[in-house]
Amino acid sequence: MNLETAIEMIQPLDQNAMHLAKMRLDSLTKPLNSLGKLESNVIQLAGILQTLKPDIRRRAVVVMCADNGVIVEGISSCPKEVTATVTRNFLKGFTGVNVFANLSNTDLVICDIGVDDDLSDAPQIINRKIRRGTDNMMTGPAMTREEAIQAIEVGIELVGTLVEDGYHLIGTGEMGIGNTTTSAAISAVLTDCPPEIMTGRGAGLSNQALSHKTNVVKNAIETNAPYSDSIDVLAKLGGFDIAGLAGCFIGAAVHRVPCVIDGFISAVAALVAVRICPQVKDYIFVSHQSKEPGMIKVLAALEMEATLHLEMCLGEGTGAALSFLLLDAALEAYYKMGTFDDAKIEQYIPQV
């Protein structure tokens, strides 16, 4: 499915299902709205899935893996080879996202969308490689506009396949050394915030290294002047992983399944997706507020709030997988709490 067709297919949430879910929640033996965001999550799930009885038991975290040409500028404390190593390690079951995915009964879908390595020795990894890493955004566009759109369409197609296979909840994750730099650059332009605010330490940079990373982001923006639209920003400053995740958010809206932001990088992908098509926002949940400083500004631009504040910044989809447990808790209360009629208690009435 191409991007233009996908955008045309996105529909609003089911308001009737949301109204009925709200009525059910208000009938439960609790003060009105006393479960806070858990209640709003249930209502949103009902609107997305078009049912009074949302079922999200079959879920997956999609991990988009890609290398970034800007790594040659020395903006990371990790060598580029770590991207391919960790991508393979996802299959061994001991990474952070593996742990939380197992805990939340979540499948992992690992996609090579641009790793600078031959991963044919790991056939479980889905091969949607655009090419072996982007170009260095310091010297010109990271990718062509056509490549950016192709990567977005990979995400759309992948979510479509998962929905056909029976999945009803999608989380987003990524692996790509240097992708906090690309995310800082994209978000600085899309939020109109200085790179000094949007650029963080990534994998533990020193003050001097952080200053250098910030200057790289500044120079990349000046070199590329990425201002025509959000796809232009993505193509000139982004990575294939971010583009693929943006496609996942769009694909989730097309196929009417909830899609969960992990941390800073997937939040930037979500912002790109929402700038491409504002209706996508209705299908997005936020898991946690990443420790990366730019996360605050990106969520503000999305006009969304994180559910969890844990000072995490691991990525990989760890926050998304962890947040599935809270969505489970929300639905558990929704389905299993008694009503006022069950308890023979007079129902709460809103005070005017």
> Do residues 138 and 220 make contact, with C-beta atoms less than 8 angstroms apart?
yes
Distance CA 80, CA 45 (A): 39
Residues in Cβ contact with 175 at an 8 Å cutoff, skipping those fewer than 6 apart: 63, 64, 65, 66, 83, 86, 87, 90, 241, 315, 316
Instruction: Show the tokens assigned to 345.
Output: 């208690």
Longest dimension (CA), the chain: 71
> Do residues 244 and 167 make contact, with C-beta atoms less than 8 angstroms apart?
no
Distance CA 193, CA 161 (A): 37
Q: Which helix (H) or strand (E) holds 62?
A: strand 59-66
What are the catalytic residues? Answer: 316
Give percent helix, percent strand, percent coil of the chain, each to the nearest 5: 55, 10, 40
Instruction: Show the tokens assigned to 43.
Output: 């209502």
Helix, strand or coil, per DSSP, at residue 65: strand
The residue count for the chain: 352
